[in-house]
Amino acid sequence: MLKEFKEFIAKGNVMDMAVGIILGAAFTAIVGSLVEDLINPLIGLFMGGVDFSTLGVTVGEGEDAAVFAYGKFIMAIINFLIIAFVVFLLVKGVNRMKREEEEAPAEDPGPSEIDLLKEIAEALKRK
pLDDT digits (tens, 9 = 90+) for 63-121: 888 888 888 888 888 888 888 888 888 889 888 888 887 776 667 677 788 888 888 88
Q: Alpha helices, DSSP H only, in 1-127? A: 2-10, 12-33, 40-46, 70-103, 113-126
How far is Cα 17 from Cα 24, in angstroms, rounded to an integer?
10
Is 98 domain-assigned?
yes
Q: What is the CATH number of the domain that holds 20?
A: 1.10.1200.120
Count, residues in the chain: 127
Q: Is 0.75 topped by the overall pTM?
A: no
Give the residue numbers spanning the domain of 87. 2-105
Is 24 domain-assigned?
yes
Question: How many structural domains does the chain have?
Answer: 1
Is 117 domain-assigned?
no
Is 33 domain-assigned?
yes
Is 120 domain-assigned?
no
Nearest residue to 87 (alpha-carbon basis) of 31, 24, 33:
31
